[in-house]
Amino acid sequence: MTRTPLDLRLYLVTDTDMCGDHGLVRTVREAVSGGVTVVQLRDPDASDDELVALGMLVRKGLEGTGIPLIVNDRVHLVKQIGADGAHIGQDDLPVPEARSILGSSAYLGLSVHNHEQLMTARENDWDLDYLGVGPVWRTTSKADAEAPIGVSGLKAVASDSPWPCVAIGGVNARRTGGLSASGVAGVAVISAICGQPDPETAAFALRAAWEESP
């Protein structure tokens, strides 16, 4: 089945704690108003039941926007939440198993850290929609993040990838402007939106930096 390609220009990965008193749903809604094009629900500390409840609130908050909701890691909860797909890492479910659970109509993204992981995906011809590549720079948003690969590492993966790539890790508005030339389809952020007092303005600055880049 052919899936409509995702608009990956500004990909928000949520962090419930970082949203603080502003609240996750409000943060997501404001970020979408500012230009976010995809939302990934990520809360590794939540139980399955808690994530489903949170996901349904976020999905309701996205109604009428046309913005897809992706679930991090927990592929088995996508249908229960009513989300549009899932994103998995190298240590999560194998891609074929994740695709089998999701079915052919849902989106599936995969995190890759290096060229070797890209080549494994290519050689197996996995049914993916995009790759999350990084961390490009050092990040404090994920305690278990790998060492930064830099813009050169990002380019190496993006140039050989048959799937659109999203840069993640240490991305902010200042750095976003130079990333379109690396061959990626967009940027993914956590703290650059979730940790900000005005998510809409933060998202707008990121989108502007992307759109204005050469």
Q: Which residue numbers belong to the known binding site?
A: 72-73, 92, 111, 139-142, 170, 190-191
Tell me, yes or no, if 42 is annotated catalytic: yes
Q: How many CB atoms lie within 10 A of CB 124?
A: 12
Q: How many CB atoms lie within 10 A of CB 5?
A: 11
Residues making up the binding site for Mg(2+): 73, 92
Tell me, yes or no, if 26 is annotated catalytic: no
Give the CA dihedral 110, 6, 153, 190, nearest 10 degrees: -80
Q: Choose the catalytic residue: 3, 33, 142, 175.
A: 142
Token pair for residue 33?
């108003």
Tell me, yes or no, if 122 is annotated catalytic: no
Please, what's the b/e burial string for 184-206 (b: 16 or more CB within 10 A of its CB; e: otherwise)?
A: bbbbbbbbbbbbbeebbebbbbb
Contact assessment for residue 151 and residue 178, using Cβ atoms and an 8 Å cutoff: yes
Q: How many CB atoms lie within 10 A of CB 173?
A: 18
Radius of gyration of the chain (CA): 16
Q: Choose the catalytic residue: 99, 111, 155, 161.
A: 111
- Residue 176 CA to residue 192 CA, distance in Å, equals 11
Q: For 39, phi and psi rounded to 5 degrees?
A: -120, 130
Q: Choose the catalytic residue: 9, 42, 59, 207.
A: 42
Could you give the residue numbers annotated as active site? 42, 111, 142
